């Protein structure tokens, strides 16, 4: 059985995991459009970032633009009862504790999956029919042109229950295995505001600038950097638009979408530094929502 499929456009390529391959069996991220790597002009923009042996069951055994939908129905579910993760399926609540994205909840119903692939695109389809929850979800991953990768989504609520939550993109980019540190920056079309998280394993090695975020020292192994709620000094709604730049490698990724944003988090460790834009999602029975995200890869 073929496990992955590579889509190309000129010098740009992206290797994607196919349904049923078993390469990612975690229950955190959307299984549609899991990337193995992204390359452009002989440079690697996304590749494995985790240390240690590969574990298909690990929640974050992904790379590139990994998307996660929030858990639906978890809080009201009894222990042993079902809840929904769009893109994954129906999961089982195992204990009376808050939802944890790192937990390996049992997969009760993975629904039905299919995909159609050609040289420059893959279309993933996932359907769920499980009691009050049901949906038809289609994601198309394609090269719009050389260096511009597009994620197109269409989600239809075919069940009785409201689908109410968020979806965000984690944006794991590795830039030729460059480590986050001095020379890494995030360019933003607004003056950002926010407080750096100060957990015991957090570092303060970055600063907010009038037009973005800049790291001024390396993130050491075992440490993290995080701003949980990135805002704007003018208080206006944040656009879904930013650029990640690795100055030493002269590489970057411009990310843009028409989707609304309800929260942005910035997170990193010694291998990756990620912008995480959250989009609100609410679909009544019979409603459909479509949205698109574009990634333009740049070599300066």
12-32: per-residue pLDDT in tens?
A: 999 999 998 999 999 999 999
pLDDT computed for residue 1 by the predictor = 72
pLDDT computed for residue 117 by the predictor = 97
Is 80 exceeded by the pLDDT of residue 58? yes
Q: Determine the Cα–Cα distance for residues 37 and 43; give it in Å rounded to an integer.
A: 11
CA dihedral over 143, 260, 269, 213, signed as positive or negative? positive
- How many Cβ atoms sit within 10 Å of the Cβ of residue 294? 17
Q: Determine the Cα–Cα distance for residues 127 and 111; give it in Å rounded to an integer.
A: 6
Q: Determine the Cα–Cα distance for residues 279 and 263; give it in Å rounded to an integer.
A: 7
* Percent of the chain at pLDDT exceeding 70: 100
pLDDT computed for residue 174 by the predictor = 97
63 class by beta-carbon count within 10 Å (0-12 exposed, 13-18 middle, 19+ buried):
buried
pTM: 0.97
Give the containing element (helix H, strand E) for 2: none
Q: Determine the Cα–Cα distance for residues 25 and 103; give it in Å rounded to an integer.
A: 13
pLDDT tier, 262 (very low <50, low <70, confident <90, very high otherwise): very high
Query: pLDDT tens digit string along 67-97?
Result: 999 999 999 999 999 999 999 999 999 999 9
Burial 96-128 (b: 16+ CB within 10 A, else e): eeeeeeeeebebebbbebebebeeebbbbbbeb
Q: Determine the Cα–Cα distance for residues 154 and 289; give it in Å rounded to an integer.
A: 6
Q: Determine the Cα–Cα distance for residues 285 and 96; give it in Å rounded to an integer.
A: 29
Q: List the structure tokens of 165.
A: 């939550």
Burial 147-165 (b: 16+ CB within 10 A, else e): bbbbbbbebbbbbebebeb
Q: How far is CA 201 from CA 65, 196, 269, 280, in A?
A: 25, 12, 10, 30
């Amino acid at each position: 059985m073929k496990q992955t499929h590579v889509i190309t456009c000129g010098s740009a390529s992206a290797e994607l995991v196919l349904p049923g391959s078993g390469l990612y069996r975690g229950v955190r991220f959307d299984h549609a459009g899991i990337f193995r790597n992204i390359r452009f002009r002989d440079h690697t923009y996304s590749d494995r970032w985790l240390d240690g042996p590969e574990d298909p069951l690990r929640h974050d055994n992904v790379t590139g633009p990994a998307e996660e939908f929030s858990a639906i129905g978890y809080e009201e579910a009894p222990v042993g009862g079902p809840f929904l993760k769009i893109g994954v399926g129906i999961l089982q609540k195992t204990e009376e504790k808050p939802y944890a994205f790192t937990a390996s909840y049992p997969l009760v119903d993975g629904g039905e999956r299919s995909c159609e692939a050609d040289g420059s695109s893959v279309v993933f389809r996932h359907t769920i029919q499980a009691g009050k929850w049901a949906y038809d979800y289609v994601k198309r991953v394609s090269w719009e042109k050389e260096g511009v990768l597009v994620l197109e989504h269409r989600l239809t609520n075919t069940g009785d229950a409201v689908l109410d939550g968020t979806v965000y993109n984690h944006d794991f980019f590795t830039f030729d295995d460059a480590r986050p540190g001095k020379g890494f920056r995030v360019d933003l079309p607004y003056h950002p505001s926010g407080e750096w998280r100060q957990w015991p394993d957090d570092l303060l090695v970055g600063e907010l600038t009038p037009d973005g975020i800049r790291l001024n020292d390396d993130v050491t192994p075992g440490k993290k950097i995080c701003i949980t709620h990135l805002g704007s000094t003018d208080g206006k709604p944040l656009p879904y638009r930013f650029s990640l730049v690795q100055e030493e490698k002269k590489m970057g990724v411009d990310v843009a979408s028409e989707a609304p944003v309800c929260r942005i988090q910035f997170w990193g460790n010694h291998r990756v530094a990620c912008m995480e834009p959250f989009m609100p999602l609410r679909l009544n029975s019979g409603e459909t929502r479509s949205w698109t995200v574009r990634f333009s890869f740049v070599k300066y």
